[in-house]
Chain A
């Protein structure tokens, strides 16, 4: 069982729809990241969270530490949002071992016009 689980694996939406991608993890973490990867491989870091909620434009990320769960929401989705969204966590281990990121398998989002 992967330590970081994402759902759904694939998501197809119509332009304008509200989108939610979920991420759950198995043990305590020090931080959770949401990443976006476009075709061609480039990765952009969208959010780094350790508690609560963050918003950037049409993107909102939330985390519930007690439930070990995070969600990434996209409001008013657009075809340019089509990408793979990846959840990654830093487990709450020692100072140096906690520097490694453990990744979910990613969610392939396709937004149709």
Chain B
């Protein structure tokens, strides 16, 4: 069974631009969570989607948004990029809501904002 895939793997953007990252969960998994990892803040929860509904959102500004499609694939969008948005963005999937299941992580998308 294929693992969690994320595209693109690497991305360079400039301040003010917007970016969309994609996550394809393991087949059959309905929950997708997104995380941001930076050297200064470590890993932080962004949001979780289950069956196309956002279940929970972390403490990030409204520039960060996401959605989940009927096939469980998820996208996250960051508008008006700032230098501080440079990070590794990880998604993780699980069969059931993430609160009761082990999550499987993707390889991440490394975003650099110049």
Contact = CB atoms under 8 A, between A and B. Distances in A.
A105 B103 contact: no
Given A100-B56, A100-B58, A41 B37 contact: yes
A41 B88 contact: yes
Contacts, number: 56
Contacts of B42: 103-106
A7 to B, nearest CB: 15
B97 A99 contact: yes
Contacts of B107: 40-42
Q: How large is the interface on B (under 10, 10 to 19, 20 to 34, 35 or more residues)?
A: 20 to 34
A99 B108 contact: no
A76 interface: no
Contact of A88 (B43, B56, B104): B43
B48 A99 contact: yes
A99 B94 CA distance: 12
A66 interface: no
Nearest to A4: B42
Interface stretch (A13-21, A43-51, A67-75): A43-51
Interface in B69-94: 88, 90, 92
A96 B105 contact: no
Given A42-B107, A101-B98, 19 more contacts: A30-B99, A33-B103, A41-B107, A43-B90, A43-B105, A44-B105, A45-B104, A86-B43, A95-B99, A96-B56, A98-B99, A99-B48, A99-B56, A99-B98, A99-B99, A100-B58, A101-B43, A102-B45, A103-B43
Interface of A: 30-31, 33, 35, 40-45, 48, 86, 88, 90, 95-106
